Amino acid sequence: MVDRVLFVCHANLCRSPMAEYLARRLLAGQPVVVSSAGTDAVDGLPMHPYAAEVATWAGGDPTGFRTRRLRGEHLVGATLVLAATRRQRSVCTALAPAALHRTFTLRQFARLAEAADAADPADDAVADPTDGPVRAAVRAAARARGRLQPATPDADDLVDPIGGTAADFRRCAEEIERSLRPLAALIGTAG
């Protein structure tokens, strides 16, 4: 069974495409399909040029990338949904309430993944042997939720670089990659 990770931002032009391409690089070799969408995206646009530079740096070819507007079926089919902001996380859970337990902001999930223990024996009672590593990582992160103090509201939001310079996009990509590393490590441990 292949797990699916969906990244969500506002327009699917900058943050979620950069996260998609960076995650593909970091999760190479894992049975994971990575995609992205935007809560307010216009279908069919190319990625922002500065985001495309990041995607190319990550080893991808962004020429065929096209934006897509977030739909309920994207959320229902995702094993893990990672939104750029709390607002976008709320839009996701309003659109597909059943996805609530597997929808986080990217930065929130990074904190949980850092605190998680994928090999927790308490998970054995609920584990399904056919589950992939992302499902196991989501369960481990959910268990870690109770061990962490709540973060300040702004700690969960990833700043949108739209309208900024190439350096702003690179800074955003660095933050995305920092947030993806604990996810990749947890998935690697869970798989």
Question: Which positions are catalytic?
Answer: 9, 15, 128
| Cα 15 from Cα 38, distance rounded (Å) | 10
* 120 CB burial (10 A radius; 0-12, 13-18, 19+): middle
- Strand pairing partners for 34? 5
Phi, psi of 115 (to 5 degrees): -90, -10
Classify 144 as helix, strand or coil. Answer: helix
- Bridge pairing between strands 103-105 and 32-38: unpaired
CA dihedral 159, 161, 165, 168 (to 10 degrees): 40
**C-alpha separations of 100 from 71, 91, 163, 188 in Å:** 15, 11, 31, 24
Alpha helices in 63-165 (DSSP H): 72-76, 86-95, 106-115, 133-145
